[in-house]
With several copies, the nearest count.
Chain A
Amino acid sequence: MSTLTFARAINAGLRKSLESDPKVVLMGEDIGTLGGVFRVTDGLQKDFGTHRVVDTPLAESGIIGTAVGLAYRGYRPVCEIQFDGFIYPAFDQIVSQVAKMHYRTQGRVKMPITIRVPFGGGIGSPEHHSESPEAYFTHTSGLRVISVSNPQDAYTMIQQAIASDDPVLYFEPKRRYHDKGEVDETAELATALSMEKARVVNTGSDATLVAYGPLVKTARDAALAAADEGISVEVIDLRSLAPIDFPTVEASVRKTGRLVITHEAAQSGGLGAEIAASITERCFNYLEAAPVRITGFDVPYPYSKLEMHHLPDLDRILDGVDRALGRRNSLSGLEG
């Protein structure tokens, strides 16, 4: 066990993948000499060379498009998109090529591409640096989408993503990069929890609280706070956003009868909608109340002086738990 920051844990996972498979190639803007603007790839170019850790020209469609060609040739490209808001120039290559190639060729051509995306807000950045674009990709058939919430998962799941023969979007909660955690670097991939599986990170009986990425920590804090009030909240870290491990969520909701979902992305059309809809379909008769969504608002990510209002925090989540439980909450008295 070693104590690593989130960023170092990803770095260690990348290193392990580079070591174990010569076909793994890292590519992106400023990932080489600089080691990435968040230092996630720090030292890797020095140790593995400029051919395996490639500083690319400044063009995101170019990064993903050439990764497609490299995958065609048998490589496993790991692409870094510098910030969430810079993934859109590559959207066409991701949606029309990366996601569809395996289906298009009926399995003849695999796309084992990992796309690393530092995402989410809370770091006081200017526009386009705090987005949560995951729902665009979870709605895109052919992609796998995961998000990690702690250094151990970060370490393990980056390796699982790279080892996957399917394309994986790997969303890194950038505001947690400096958080530290215990990481077992000797853990075997073979025995690790499948990256398709969610994890119950806090057991509880009164309500189910679903989160992923940066908000897992907030959700756990909220559960602790709720416990002080005598409310027992079960917290689930989704880990996989596409596909979502609904059986795990379902089992929890069958037990609690109440569901709260939280994410930073805008509410309308966000992952919360899919979770609410699917869980309602799967266990309607167990639900005591409508699923509650505590999310970012339907606004472009606001400038940093306002971001704390946009981002779900402990209090807003607790307010949502109260709503799910039919306790007094900010919307009490409103119809619906």
Chain B
Amino acid sequence: MLTDEVGKGATSASRPAYSADNPLRSGGSLIQLITPRGERISHPEFDVWVKDVSDEQLGSLYEDMTVIRRIDAEATALQRQGELALWPPLLGQEASQIGSSRALREDDFVFPSYRESGVAYVRGAELAEIAKVWRGNASYGWDPQRIKLATPQIIIGSQSLHATGYAMGIQHDGADSVVMAYFGDGATSEGDVSEAMVFAASFQAPVVFFCQNNHWAISEPVRLQSHVQIADRPNGFGIPSMRVDGNDVLAVLAATRVALDRARKGGGPTFIEAVTYRMGPHTTADDPTRYRDPNELEDWAAKDPIARLKALLDSKGLLTEQLEAKVQAKADAVAAEFRAGCIDMPDPAPLDVFNHVYSTPNSWIERQKDHYSRYLESFSGSAEEGAL
């Protein structure tokens, strides 16, 4: 449902290879194509990477962003109602997630963290599959191999290495797919992320490190992780980087295309810092009022990624009632499907606890499973026989 021309990762050999004064950086300034007020500004290097984005596609990006915000709201509501055990909101990060994932090809592979429900939606996860982990009905939702999206990763930074290894495999296969690794600003402090950069640089693996700098790691501001810009970090590993306005879907799309294109052509890894903001709590279990200045939220509300795209569409005369109605209908339908999928999800069976620990029979597991099933039977037995 979600692949369109943008989704097919249109890249063009005729586009200029990305370059800048510092071969490793696009300069210190933020790559931006749409201002917070919704004006399309031109960029000498990156315009060409989104030249093909039609009015219709702009609308489709708008739709996706609106839909995933709606999923987020629905999920938060479901958590409050006790239907989900937990939910990590993506509110505010819609442009980062849609802009980046829409640049991917189907055969690319994605290793997300836990917050990329929007990416999962774009990759083609079913809505119930997205809900499944957070309801507590499984540790995975979608089949990773089917939609080429790994399961949510909770150990911070861990997936950056998996992405690099997968990219080494692509290289080994002689394929031109690319791997995308998502992680947060906080994750950059974990040793694994640094080691991933070492390996990616050493083997020139086709991997894109996509860091959503949403300014917070639970209660910790990004400056605790780094005094300098996060986009500076990879350069010392020999990895080029871009710093992009993460609330600008076109800029994110352009930067991601640049990175994917480089990787596909054997140019190795790229690091993208998408500067955005976590407008909600860390998870539904978190209370950001304990650590965050409300003014900060206000500042960022003025840079809202959806409002900005909406303003652009409006200025272009594209924000028709028809479009609004279509998007609204889609969001409603998705929300309803998400809710139904969540609530109607069948509970697992008790003995599932023993399944799939190993791919082949294992004597320890078999024995414990046998003993526990006898134990469970002893209850029905006791009901019949009146004694435990």
Interface residues of A (CB under 8 A from B): 25, 29-30, 32-35, 37, 51, 55-59, 61-62, 64-75, 77, 85-86, 88-89, 92-93, 96-97, 100, 102-110, 124-129, 141-142, 144, 164-166, 196, 242-247, 267-268, 297-300, 302-306, 309-310, 316, 318-319, 322, 328-331, 334
Closest to B352 in A: A306
What are 17 inter-chain pairs, A to B, with CB distance below 8 A?
A56-B199, A57-B224, A58-B220, A61-B161, A62-B199, A86-B155, A92-B192, A93-B161, A97-B158, A102-B359, A106-B138, A125-B85, A142-B357, A297-B368, A298-B364, A304-B85, A305-B137
Cα–Cα, bound, A97→B144 (Å): 15
Q: Interface majority SS on B: helix, strand, loop or mixed?
A: helix
CB-CB under 8 A from A244, the residues of chain B are 364
Q: Is the CB of B163 within 8 A of A69?
A: yes
CB-CB under 8 A from B44, the residues of chain A are none
Q: Is the CB of A65 within 8 A of B195?
A: yes
A34, A124, A125: the one contacting B291 at CB < 8 Å is A34
Interface flag for B218 (CB, 8 Å): yes
Q: How far is the CB of B384 from chain A (nearest CB, A)?
A: 14
Q: How far is the CB of B114 from chain A (nearest CB, A)?
A: 8
Closest to A301 in B: B139
Q: Is the CB of B355 within 8 A of A106?
A: yes
CB-CB under 8 A from A100, the residues of chain B are 139
Q: Is the CB of A305 within 8 A of B166?
A: no
CB-CB under 8 A from B359, the residues of chain A are 102, 107, 110, 165-166
Known: A25-B172, A57-B225, A303-B138. A89 touches B355 (CB 8 A): no
Interface flag for B168 (CB, 8 Å): yes
CB-CB under 8 A from B111, the residues of chain A are 69
CB-CB under 8 A from B360, the residues of chain A are 164-166
Contact with A along B359-370 (1 / 0, CB 8 A): 110111100100
Interface residues of B (CB under 8 A from A): 85-86, 109, 111, 114, 133-140, 143-145, 150-151, 154-156, 158, 160-170, 172-173, 179, 186-187, 189-192, 195-196, 198-199, 202, 217-220, 224-225, 285-286, 290-291, 347-348, 350, 352-360, 362-365, 368, 371-372, 374-375, 377-378, 387-388
Known: A72-B162, A303-B136. A125 touches B86 (CB 8 A): yes
CB-CB under 8 A from A142, the residues of chain B are 357-358
Cα–Cα, bound, A108→B144 (Å): 7
Cα–Cα, bound, A96→B190 (Å): 15
Q: Is the CB of A108 within 8 A of B143?
A: yes
B133, B219, B375: the one contacting A319 at CB < 8 Å is B375
